[in-house]
Amino acid sequence: MTKPGALNQRSLAYSVVGTQIFVATLLPTLFLIVDKDIAVSVFIGCWIATLSNAYFGIQAFRYSGARSAQKIVQSFYRGEAGKFIINIVLIAIAFEYVELLQVGNNSLYMFVAFTLIHIVTWFAPIVLKK
């Protein structure tokens, strides 16, 4: 049985991912005004972070309740390990197959966008709880 507190935590996690999806869509759109290559780099960085965080959220909040304590810990470890692997694989694929990341500062824009999505993860719970 799922407790109301667990549902609140799960819904907050999904809301954070929803906020990341919003920012990951808005940020590249804003950079289209500046430059198409920068917008693509920002898009890649945003969505790598968002996809890995979505995987973590799904894994980490799969179980709830005191009887599921061991499953909860295992799911957090699985979620974090999966998030790490997804980040590495997607960044490697991006550098291998997206040629514009190998030109100029485009890779820097990708990593800045990647970092901004993680910053959204830190501040979204504060904003969403109010």
Under 8 Å between Cβ of 52 and 83: yes
Question: Which alpha helices (DSSP H) does 61-105 contain, by range?
Answer: 69-97
Q: Where are any strands of DSSP class E within the chain?
A: none
pTM, entire model: 0.85
- A 10 A CB-CB count for 86 gives 18
Q: What is the mean pLDDT of each run of 10 residues along the chain (130 residues)?
A: 57 85 94 94 96 91 76 89 96 95 92 95 79
Amino acid at 9: Q
Q: How many CB atoms lie within 10 A of CB 81?
A: 12
Number of helices (H), then strands (E), in the chain: 4, 0
